[in-house]
Amino acid sequence: MDFLLVTSLSALVGISTLVISALGLSITFGIMGVINMAHGEFIMIGAFVTVILTSSGVPFVLAIVCAVAAGAMLGLIVERLLISRLYGRRIESTLLATFGLSLVLQQAAVLLIGTTPRGIQTPFGSLAIGSYSIGWYSLLIIGIACLCVIATYLVFTRTRYGMLARATMQNRDMAASLGVNTRWVNATTFTLGSAFAALAGAVLSPLLAVVPSMGLPLISSAFMTVVLGGPAVLAGLVAASGVLGASREIVANAVSPVLGTAALMVVAMLLLRMLPNGISASWKRTL
């Protein structure tokens, strides 16, 4: 019974981790049609900003806020200088451009910070469940993921930007012809996606080894989650995270973490074979 409870909580933590790490990528891809291959490096930057600030005595919560601000500012700069020049071109153009950006950012982190793993002591201790234990901070990740999903839903359904972004997503040319400033929508959307990526790195930094290459495994699982989620930016992401996160954590707890990651990939490939357009392809909702 204790094992089942711990496994269930671990599955929820795994699902929440996928939601947090993939949310920014889902926003930029779903709204803009841009595959940001540097998403993992934005996560890495958020983690490094958090680690460096906390090691300098800045409170953890304030360090997270600063990391999000840094990610948003970098995202806006990248969109203005790089992504905005690729609109109207084939999707491969943004894929290759952001892949090159990811290499530049990763190497810059190696030169500036080094390859020695860094981290933050996991706060709040752990919860004992029989002979097992699970960190209180890991459980807090569940709440953070819920808040991120709710906040994203409110932004896209209760704000002027959200209305314009959804109109742009459904028919970009029509929205532009009706006077929507699609360049502003694109810049805001990429900035928002980058901020969520930095937030993911910040809140996950106590649970991961913070190194320049930490974004690679995160973007792999995030990309698989977004593709499997399909056209529904938010609902599809949550559904795909539920399936893949649960599969990974159940196998990881029962066998090993390596096989857990393999299980995630196998389940994703099987589902994409059956649902090539994603889980939400037949849903009526687009958010």
In a domain, 114, yes or no: yes
User: What is the end-to-end Cα distance of the chain in Å, rounded?
Assistant: 37
| Cα–Cα distance for residue pair 99/118, rounded to 1 Å | 25
Highest mean pLDDT among 47-51, 158-162, 164-168, 205-209: 47-51
Phi, psi of 84 (to 5 degrees): -65, -20
73 by Cβ neighbours in 10 Å (0-12 / 13-18 / 19+) ranks as: middle
In a domain, 266, yes or no: no
Q: Quick one: pLDDT band at residue 286, thresholds 50, 70, 90?
A: low
In a domain, 156, yes or no: yes
SS (H, E, C) 229-275: HCCCCCHHHHHHHHHHHHHHHHHHHHCCHHHHHHHHHHHHHHHHHHC
Residue 48: per-residue pLDDT: 95
Higher pLDDT, 4 or 108: 108
Total domains in the chain come to 1
| Cα–Cα distance for residue pair 139/174, rounded to 1 Å | 44
In a domain, 286, yes or no: no
- Mean pLDDT, the chain, integer: 89
In a domain, 54, yes or no: yes
In a domain, 92, yes or no: yes
Average pLDDT of the residues in 168-178: 80
Higher pLDDT, 130 or 174: 174
In a domain, 271, yes or no: no
Q: Quick one: pLDDT band at residue 281, thresholds 50, 70, 90?
A: confident
pLDDT per residue as tens digits for the range 224-238: 999 999 888 898 999
Measure CA 189 to chain center: 14
Residue 1: per-residue pLDDT: 66
In a domain, 60, yes or no: yes
pTM of the model: 0.93
Domain limits at 163? 2-212
Give the percent of the chain with pLDDT over 90: 49
Higher pLDDT, 47 or 126: 47
CA distance readout (Å), 114 to 100, 210, 213, 247: 20, 11, 11, 34
